[in-house]
Amino acid sequence: MINRSNIEKIAHSPEDKLLLAKLWDKIHSGILRNIPSHTPFLSPGEQEMARYLFGNVQGLHFFGGYEDAERKMLVYLPDYLDESCLYEEDSPMVCLRSSFYQLDAPTHRDFLGALMGCGIARESIGDICVGNASCDLFVSAEIATFVLHNLLSAGRAKLTMKTVSLKEAVVPVQEVKQIHDTLASLRLDSVVSSGFRIGRSMASQHICAGKVSIDGLPCEKPDKPVAEGAKISLRGAGKIKLEAVNGQTKKGRISVVIHRYM
Protein backbone atom coordinates (compact mmCIF):
# COMPACT_ATOMS: atom_id res chain seq x y z
CA MET A 1 0.00 0.00 0.00
CA ILE A 2 1.20 3.51 -0.75
CA ASN A 3 2.75 5.34 2.18
CA ARG A 4 1.60 8.91 2.79
CA SER A 5 4.75 9.68 4.76
CA ASN A 6 6.76 9.50 1.53
CA ILE A 7 5.34 12.91 0.61
CA GLU A 8 7.92 14.57 2.89
CA LYS A 9 10.77 12.79 1.10
CA ILE A 10 9.59 13.58 -2.41
CA ALA A 11 8.38 17.19 -2.13
CA HIS A 12 10.82 19.98 -2.95
CA SER A 13 8.64 22.81 -1.66
CA PRO A 14 5.50 23.49 0.44
CA GLU A 15 3.55 23.70 -2.84
CA ASP A 16 4.75 20.20 -3.78
CA LYS A 17 3.61 18.88 -0.39
CA LEU A 18 0.12 20.29 -0.88
CA LEU A 19 -0.09 18.85 -4.40
CA LEU A 20 1.12 15.38 -3.40
CA ALA A 21 -1.24 15.29 -0.43
CA LYS A 22 -4.12 16.15 -2.78
CA LEU A 23 -3.09 13.41 -5.22
CA TRP A 24 -2.72 10.89 -2.41
CA ASP A 25 -6.17 11.65 -1.02
CA LYS A 26 -7.86 11.27 -4.42
CA ILE A 27 -6.12 8.05 -5.46
CA HIS A 28 -6.13 6.44 -2.01
CA SER A 29 -9.88 7.05 -1.72
CA GLY A 30 -10.47 5.24 -5.00
CA ILE A 31 -8.31 2.31 -3.99
CA LEU A 32 -10.04 1.90 -0.61
CA ARG A 33 -13.51 2.03 -2.18
CA ASN A 34 -12.46 0.06 -5.28
CA ILE A 35 -13.93 2.68 -7.62
CA PRO A 36 -12.37 4.77 -10.40
CA SER A 37 -10.66 7.96 -9.24
CA HIS A 38 -8.46 10.55 -10.89
CA THR A 39 -6.31 13.59 -10.23
CA PRO A 40 -6.29 16.93 -12.06
CA PHE A 41 -3.98 17.33 -15.07
CA LEU A 42 -0.33 17.09 -14.08
CA SER A 43 2.75 18.61 -15.69
CA PRO A 44 5.64 16.25 -16.59
CA GLY A 45 7.45 17.21 -13.36
CA GLU A 46 4.36 16.57 -11.27
CA GLN A 47 3.90 13.21 -12.99
CA GLU A 48 7.42 12.22 -11.97
CA MET A 49 6.72 13.09 -8.33
CA ALA A 50 3.52 11.05 -8.51
CA ARG A 51 5.47 8.07 -9.88
CA TYR A 52 7.81 8.24 -6.89
CA LEU A 53 4.87 8.51 -4.49
CA PHE A 54 2.74 5.66 -5.82
CA GLY A 55 5.44 3.33 -7.14
CA ASN A 56 4.07 0.17 -8.76
CA VAL A 57 0.52 0.30 -7.42
CA GLN A 58 -1.71 -1.81 -9.66
CA GLY A 59 -4.42 -0.07 -11.66
CA LEU A 60 -2.74 3.32 -12.06
CA HIS A 61 -2.57 4.97 -15.49
CA PHE A 62 -1.26 8.32 -16.69
CA PHE A 63 -3.82 9.49 -19.24
CA GLY A 64 -3.75 12.64 -21.38
CA GLY A 65 -6.27 11.83 -24.09
CA TYR A 66 -3.70 10.56 -26.59
CA GLU A 67 -0.46 8.58 -26.46
CA ASP A 68 2.15 11.35 -26.41
CA ALA A 69 0.24 13.92 -24.37
CA GLU A 70 2.41 16.13 -22.17
CA ARG A 71 -0.11 16.98 -19.46
CA LYS A 72 -1.84 13.92 -18.02
CA MET A 73 -4.21 12.86 -15.27
CA LEU A 74 -3.27 10.04 -12.92
CA VAL A 75 -6.21 7.63 -13.00
CA TYR A 76 -6.95 4.65 -10.77
CA LEU A 77 -9.00 1.89 -12.41
CA PRO A 78 -10.21 -1.13 -10.39
CA ASP A 79 -9.45 -4.54 -11.87
CA TYR A 80 -12.97 -4.81 -13.33
CA LEU A 81 -12.16 -1.96 -15.76
CA ASP A 82 -9.49 -1.64 -18.43
CA GLU A 83 -7.86 1.44 -19.94
CA SER A 84 -10.21 1.51 -22.94
CA CYS A 85 -12.96 2.86 -20.67
CA LEU A 86 -11.07 6.15 -20.45
CA TYR A 87 -12.08 6.90 -24.05
CA GLU A 88 -15.79 6.36 -23.41
CA GLU A 89 -18.54 8.86 -22.52
CA ASP A 90 -17.90 8.72 -18.77
CA SER A 91 -14.19 9.56 -19.15
CA PRO A 92 -12.81 12.11 -16.67
CA MET A 93 -11.59 14.05 -19.70
CA VAL A 94 -13.36 15.71 -22.63
CA CYS A 95 -12.03 16.89 -25.99
CA LEU A 96 -13.45 20.19 -27.25
CA ARG A 97 -12.83 21.37 -30.80
CA SER A 98 -12.72 25.10 -31.49
CA SER A 99 -12.92 26.17 -35.13
CA PHE A 100 -11.70 29.58 -36.35
CA TYR A 101 -10.86 31.57 -39.46
CA GLN A 102 -7.48 30.22 -40.56
CA LEU A 103 -5.85 33.60 -41.20
CA ASP A 104 -6.53 34.71 -37.61
CA ALA A 105 -4.03 32.00 -36.54
CA PRO A 106 -4.44 31.96 -32.73
CA THR A 107 -1.52 30.38 -30.88
CA HIS A 108 -1.23 27.98 -27.95
CA ARG A 109 -0.63 31.01 -25.73
CA ASP A 110 -3.80 32.68 -27.02
CA PHE A 111 -5.91 29.64 -26.13
CA LEU A 112 -4.33 29.17 -22.72
CA GLY A 113 -4.76 32.84 -21.92
CA ALA A 114 -8.40 32.76 -23.02
CA LEU A 115 -9.14 29.72 -20.87
CA MET A 116 -7.49 31.17 -17.80
CA GLY A 117 -9.23 34.47 -18.53
CA CYS A 118 -12.50 32.56 -18.08
CA GLY A 119 -11.37 31.77 -14.53
CA ILE A 120 -10.35 28.18 -15.26
CA ALA A 121 -7.50 26.74 -13.17
CA ARG A 122 -4.46 25.41 -15.01
CA GLU A 123 -4.93 21.99 -13.42
CA SER A 124 -8.24 21.60 -15.29
CA ILE A 125 -6.59 22.09 -18.69
CA GLY A 126 -4.65 19.39 -20.52
CA ASP A 127 -2.87 19.66 -23.85
CA ILE A 128 -3.86 22.34 -26.35
CA CYS A 129 -3.39 21.05 -29.91
CA VAL A 130 -3.53 23.94 -32.38
CA GLY A 131 -4.07 23.16 -36.06
CA ASN A 132 -4.56 25.28 -39.19
CA ALA A 133 -8.23 26.13 -38.71
CA SER A 134 -9.15 24.35 -35.50
CA CYS A 135 -7.77 23.52 -32.07
CA ASP A 136 -8.52 20.46 -29.96
CA LEU A 137 -8.56 21.20 -26.23
CA PHE A 138 -8.37 18.52 -23.55
CA VAL A 139 -10.17 19.59 -20.38
CA SER A 140 -11.51 17.90 -17.27
CA ALA A 141 -15.08 16.66 -17.65
CA GLU A 142 -16.23 18.88 -14.76
CA ILE A 143 -15.58 22.10 -16.68
CA ALA A 144 -16.34 20.94 -20.25
CA THR A 145 -19.84 22.40 -20.45
CA PHE A 146 -18.67 25.73 -19.03
CA VAL A 147 -15.84 25.95 -21.58
CA LEU A 148 -18.16 24.94 -24.41
CA HIS A 149 -20.42 27.91 -23.72
CA ASN A 150 -17.93 30.52 -22.52
CA LEU A 151 -14.79 30.19 -24.65
CA LEU A 152 -15.81 32.58 -27.43
CA SER A 153 -12.45 33.87 -28.66
CA ALA A 154 -8.69 33.34 -28.49
CA GLY A 155 -6.47 36.26 -29.43
CA ARG A 156 -8.36 38.02 -32.22
CA ALA A 157 -9.98 34.80 -33.46
CA LYS A 158 -13.68 34.14 -32.92
CA LEU A 159 -14.32 30.51 -31.98
CA THR A 160 -17.02 27.98 -32.76
CA MET A 161 -17.00 25.22 -30.15
CA LYS A 162 -18.18 21.60 -30.16
CA THR A 163 -17.47 18.36 -28.32
CA VAL A 164 -15.70 15.53 -30.14
CA SER A 165 -14.84 12.00 -29.11
CA LEU A 166 -11.39 11.51 -27.62
CA LYS A 167 -10.84 8.94 -30.36
CA GLU A 168 -11.45 11.65 -32.97
CA ALA A 169 -8.99 14.16 -31.52
CA VAL A 170 -6.63 15.70 -34.08
CA VAL A 171 -3.09 15.94 -32.73
CA PRO A 172 -0.54 17.80 -34.89
CA VAL A 173 2.52 15.73 -35.72
CA GLN A 174 5.52 17.35 -34.10
CA GLU A 175 8.53 17.75 -36.37
CA VAL A 176 11.60 15.95 -35.06
CA LYS A 177 15.24 16.25 -36.10
CA GLN A 178 17.14 13.01 -35.58
CA ILE A 179 20.73 13.38 -34.37
CA HIS A 180 23.21 10.49 -34.49
CA ASP A 181 26.27 11.06 -32.31
CA THR A 182 28.85 9.37 -30.11
CA LEU A 183 29.43 10.55 -26.55
CA ALA A 184 32.19 9.94 -24.03
CA SER A 185 29.50 9.34 -21.39
CA LEU A 186 25.78 9.79 -20.78
CA ARG A 187 26.33 12.75 -18.47
CA LEU A 188 23.66 15.41 -18.71
CA ASP A 189 26.07 18.06 -19.99
CA SER A 190 27.21 15.73 -22.80
CA VAL A 191 23.66 14.95 -23.91
CA VAL A 192 22.60 18.61 -23.76
CA SER A 193 25.70 19.64 -25.71
CA SER A 194 24.98 17.11 -28.45
CA GLY A 195 21.22 17.60 -28.65
CA PHE A 196 21.21 21.39 -28.68
CA ARG A 197 24.45 21.73 -30.64
CA ILE A 198 26.24 23.89 -28.07
CA GLY A 199 29.61 23.52 -26.38
CA ARG A 200 29.85 21.29 -23.35
CA SER A 201 31.02 24.15 -21.12
CA MET A 202 28.01 26.20 -22.20
CA ALA A 203 25.75 23.22 -21.56
CA SER A 204 27.22 22.91 -18.06
CA GLN A 205 26.62 26.60 -17.39
CA HIS A 206 22.96 26.32 -18.40
CA ILE A 207 22.51 23.28 -16.15
CA CYS A 208 24.12 24.96 -13.14
CA ALA A 209 21.95 28.03 -13.74
CA GLY A 210 18.82 25.90 -13.37
CA LYS A 211 17.73 26.16 -17.00
CA VAL A 212 17.61 22.40 -17.68
CA SER A 213 14.99 19.83 -16.68
CA ILE A 214 14.89 16.05 -17.09
CA ASP A 215 11.37 14.65 -17.55
CA GLY A 216 9.99 17.88 -16.11
CA LEU A 217 12.19 17.95 -13.01
CA PRO A 218 14.90 20.66 -12.75
CA CYS A 219 18.44 19.33 -12.52
CA GLU A 220 21.51 21.43 -11.68
CA LYS A 221 24.06 18.59 -11.79
CA PRO A 222 26.06 18.45 -15.06
CA ASP A 223 27.28 14.92 -14.24
CA LYS A 224 23.76 13.52 -13.74
CA PRO A 225 23.45 10.26 -15.76
CA VAL A 226 20.71 10.39 -18.41
CA ALA A 227 18.62 7.28 -19.05
CA GLU A 228 17.43 6.13 -22.44
CA GLY A 229 14.02 7.64 -23.18
CA ALA A 230 14.54 10.71 -20.98
CA LYS A 231 13.21 14.03 -22.25
CA ILE A 232 15.37 17.07 -21.56
CA SER A 233 14.26 20.69 -21.88
CA LEU A 234 16.52 23.73 -22.04
CA ARG A 235 14.76 26.99 -21.24
CA GLY A 236 14.58 29.12 -24.37
CA ALA A 237 15.90 26.37 -26.65
CA GLY A 238 13.24 23.66 -26.64
CA LYS A 239 13.25 19.95 -25.90
CA ILE A 240 15.21 16.84 -26.82
CA LYS A 241 14.82 13.13 -26.11
CA LEU A 242 17.56 10.55 -25.68
CA GLU A 243 15.81 8.21 -28.07
CA ALA A 244 18.28 5.31 -28.13
CA VAL A 245 21.57 4.19 -26.60
CA ASN A 246 23.20 1.77 -29.03
CA GLY A 247 26.25 0.59 -27.13
CA GLN A 248 29.93 1.35 -27.50
CA THR A 249 31.91 2.05 -30.64
CA LYS A 250 35.33 0.52 -31.31
CA LYS A 251 36.88 3.62 -29.78
CA GLY A 252 34.95 3.17 -26.54
CA ARG A 253 32.45 5.98 -27.10
CA ILE A 254 28.69 5.55 -26.68
CA SER A 255 26.57 5.62 -29.81
CA VAL A 256 23.28 7.50 -29.29
CA VAL A 257 20.26 8.73 -31.20
CA ILE A 258 18.79 12.02 -29.97
CA HIS A 259 15.50 13.53 -31.11
CA ARG A 260 15.24 17.30 -31.12
CA TYR A 261 11.71 18.66 -31.26
CA MET A 262 11.47 21.52 -33.72
- pLDDT tens digits for range 132-181: 999 999 999 999 999 999 999 999 999 999 999 999 999 878 789 999 99
Confirm if 124 and 71 have CB atoms less than 8 A apart.
no
Task: Give me the sheet containing 37-42, strands edge to edge.
Answer: 37-42, 72-76, 60-63
Q: Burial-class residue 247 by CB neighbours within 10 Å (0-12, 13-18, 19+).
A: exposed
Distance CA 235, CA 125 (A): 22
pLDDT tops 80 at residue 234: yes
Percent of the chain at pLDDT > 70 equals: 99
What are the distances in angstroms from CA 10 to CA 1, 13, 60, 150, 258? 17, 9, 19, 38, 29
pLDDT tops 80 at residue 3: no
What mean pLDDT is predicted for residues 65-91?
94
What are the distances in angstroms from CA 119 to CA 76, 122, 124, 136, 161? 28, 9, 11, 19, 18
- Model pTM score: 0.79
